[in-house]
A = this chain, B = another copy of it.
Amino acid sequence: MIKIYGYQLSQATMRVRIALNLKGMAFEEEFLDLLKGDQFDATFVAINPQHVVPAVVIEGVDIALFQSMAILEYLEETWPSPPLLPEDSVARARVRGLAQTIVSDTHRASVPATRKYLTDTLGHSDVELRDWVHNWAGKGLQAIETRLANDGYAGRYCHGDGPTFADICLFPQIIGARRYSVPLEPYPRIIDIFERCMEDKAFVDAVPE
């Protein structure tokens, strides 16, 4: 039994759902409402003292797994088929680097806790918040678009012709970017890959309703 503690709109949770779908692993899910503060309930704090989603509880595993990238690596090591990382170490580094560009440097700027600090603590307006989200999304997507265009490794997906960690992180970022009306015209290669993912049930089924 695999149970994900997640949040409907969470990009990080979506990554885990996509990876499990691609690997054909069944899972159940419990939704927290991060805007209401469910992440501070004692039951969840015992599962994840960092108060963030996703956390993943797997039968027979004695800790709740935390942090989406650590969870993806665990899934890859434990259920290696189909592989979501290339075999070669340099290729793996490129895929992980693309994934981290999204995870650490792009998505992190727009998570609920950051948005809340900007509006509630620093008093920023909706327009200032939108500009903030657009700024970091733009920087990250531009860096990825440039790599996809120039380094010769991209194919039908970010790395070659099959989905990897890079696509698993990029896809939810584009779902989020569209919700925030981030202009996407400057990133034709990213959009092309996004549309490819939209043809794959493993990705589409992971999108919140």
A interface list, Cβ under 8 A from B: 49-52, 61-63, 65-71, 73-74, 77-78, 89-90, 92-94, 96-97, 99-101, 103-105, 108-109, 113-114, 117, 121-122, 124, 128, 131-132, 135, 139-140, 142-143, 146-147, 150-151, 153
Contact B90 A61 (CB under 8 A): yes
Minimum Cβ distance to chain B for residue A148 (Å): 10
Q: How far is the CA of A143 from the CA of B74 in the complex (A)?
A: 21
Contact A65 B97 (CB under 8 A): yes
> Chain A contact residues: over half helix, strand or loop, or mixed?
helix
Number of copies: 2
Contact B100 A67 (CB under 8 A): yes
Q: How far is the CA of A19 from the CA of B97 in the complex (A)?
A: 17
Q: How far is the CA of A71 from the CA of B68 in the complex (A)?
A: 18
Q: Could you pull out 27 A-B pairs where Cβ atoms are within 8 angstroms?
A: A49-B150, A50-B139, A50-B140, A50-B143, A51-B143, A63-B90, A63-B94, A63-B151, A63-B153, A65-B90, A65-B93, A65-B97, A67-B100, A69-B100, A70-B93, A70-B96, A70-B97, A70-B100, A71-B93, A74-B92, A74-B96, A108-B109, A117-B135, A121-B131, A121-B135, A122-B124, A122-B132
- A50-B105 contact given A89-B74, A89-B78, A90-B62, CB 8 Å threshold: yes
Q: How far is the CA of A103 from the CA of B124 in the complex (A)?
A: 26
**CB-nearest residue of chain B relative to A93?**
B74
Minimum Cβ distance to chain B for residue A132 (Å): 7
Minimum Cβ distance to chain B for residue A3 (Å): 15
Q: Which of B67, B96, B117 contacts A104, CB < 8 Å?
A: B67
Minimum Cβ distance to chain B for residue A172 (Å): 14
Contact B96 A117 (CB under 8 A): no
Chain B residues with Cβ under 8 A from A99's Cβ? 70
**Which 6 pairs across A and B sit closest by C-beta, in order of nearness?**
A50-B143, A70-B96, A49-B146, A67-B100, A70-B97, A67-B97
Q: How far is the CA of A109 from the CA of B99 in the complex (A)?
A: 18
